[in-house]
Chain A
Amino acid sequence: MKRAFPILAVLTGVLLSYAMYQALVVAPTEQTMGDVQRIFYYHVPSAWTAFILFAINFVASIVYLIRRNAKADMLALVTAEVGVVFCTVNLVTGPIWARPVWGIWWTWDLRLTLTLVLWLIYVSYIVLRRFSSSGQTPLLAAVLAVFGALDVPLVYFSIWFFRTQHPQPVIGGGGSLDPRMWHALLINWLAFSCFGALVCWSRYRLEVLRRDFDETLALEALLEPRSSKARSS
């Protein structure tokens, strides 16, 4: 296991460089948007990776609620954190793309708003984990994750209807992608997913180490013979 990590890290690095080459050089330039469209190759994979991580978080939270398994809880914690990082990338690159193309930074369109709401929910999840004082953090966090997941379809429908009611700037997204563009997109997605998995793994190992250490510290007195100390005091 210990040797696997550096090997995977190197492989991910190679994959990321190749994906970047694909995105910036190989993929054809989009006709109307020009080179700016290349933001697409890290904007979209970030979103997909974030959504997958949030989905894993939901499953892990359910498993925790049923089984009270500490590993499931750590998985949920890790995927939420890394998911928020990828979601942040998506939300930051979005406006940078939108500005030159649509002339505005932000629009309350369905996908954008949905991503923003998801980001808000998972940030509140992380804040809850940080602020809860008791040993019951995993339970409370898992409950919140379930509520958040239940919220997603409702958010989706509300924004979908909100949008059809109020006219919005028309967003070009229709039309088919050039096969070389698809290729670059998928390679980038694969690379970013591997990168995400790698970050999750490091974060997971850090969490395991921290919990082990906390437990050792808490139970430190068990290592010492108690009875002699009791008498001397």
Chain B
Amino acid sequence: MSAAVIVTDLVKQFGRFAALRGVSTEFAAGRLYAILGDNGAGKTTLLRALAGLTPLTRGSISMLGTTDLRSVCGQLGYMAHPSLLYDEMSGMENLRYFARLYEISDRGQNDEDRCADVIRAVKLDPSLTRPVGQYSQGMRQRMSLARALLNDPKILLLDEPFSNVDLRSAREMVTLLTGLRDAGKTIFVVTHQAALLEGAADEFVWMEAGQIVSRTSDLAATTETK
């Protein structure tokens, strides 16, 4: 199995605080990783570094066989804790704009169809004209996931996708994610709700104080030692 992501000695320093203190590891392609840890353990910073949003103090990231992250950013889907959507526009209007950024129409699919497909995939209605600002938290979260899926990415980076989402919707999102994983995508999920991913995630990655402290495929085993 080939490695989709290789990180070497990642250090991210903010003044007198380091969010990442020398992270070196590999992640295989086509698997679902749950990244767990306390607040301030560096989970979000790691995810942002993978997305190319955070310039590193030291270290390098190789993704899909290249260290030039700019050249593969079209293959990446990123969902942050905030929604990354314009509150004043409807879901469809938002996605239509982001579809332009990825120039999806050049890949042989019509913008309109693609946007409507992703919205349906997250169990929302494409014909909804309400602006996103008036959505419920759960709906907004799902629309945000739809935005991340828009360019049919090979690697998906999700930061807290289940926060403030009701249990049923969260389960549906997990099913959607495992389906994507089975279709060959590499998925990283930063979450506090590890239990939701039990049985779904291939591996649980524990972080503490800016380092990866353990990786295991069995959630129960790690929780025991904690």
Cβ-defined contact, A221 with B210, below 8 A: yes
- Shortest beta-carbon distance, A2 to chain B, in Å? 27
The interface residues of chain A lying within 8 Å CB-to-CB of B18 are 218-219, 221
Interface of B is mostly: strand
Whole-angstrom distance between the alpha carbons of A85 and B17 in the complex? 31
Interface of A is mostly: helix
- Shortest beta-carbon distance, A166 to chain B, in Å? 48
The interface residues of chain A lying within 8 Å CB-to-CB of B226 are 233
* Total count of chain A residues near the partner, CB < 8 A: 15
Whole-angstrom distance between the alpha carbons of A226 and B55 in the complex? 25
The reply on A179 being an interface residue by CB < 8 A is no
Of B7-15, B87-95, B154-162, the one touching chain A: B7-15
The reply on A215 being an interface residue by CB < 8 A is yes
The reply on A168 being an interface residue by CB < 8 A is no
Cβ-defined contact, B16 with A226, below 8 A: no
The reply on A227 being an interface residue by CB < 8 A is yes
Whole-angstrom distance between the alpha carbons of A214 and B13 in the complex? 9
The reply on A134 being an interface residue by CB < 8 A is yes
Name which residue of chain A comes closest to B56, CB basis.
A135
| Contact bitstring A206-233, B, C-beta under 8 A = 1, else 0 | 0000000011011101100011001101
Cβ-defined contact, A226 with B13, below 8 A: no
Task: Take A135-B13, A218-B15, A219-B21 as given contacts and tell me if A230 and B55 are in contact as well, using a CB distance cutoff of 8 Å.
Answer: no
Whole-angstrom distance between the alpha carbons of A110 and B189 in the complex? 61
Cβ-defined contact, B225 with A219, below 8 A: no
The reply on B152 being an interface residue by CB < 8 A is no
Cβ-defined contact, B14 with A227, below 8 A: no
Interface residues of B in 199-226 (CB under 8 A from A): 206, 208-211, 213-214, 225-226
Whole-angstrom distance between the alpha carbons of A233 and B226 in the complex? 7
- 3 closest A-B pairs by beta carbon, nearest first, are A218-B18, A230-B213, A217-B16
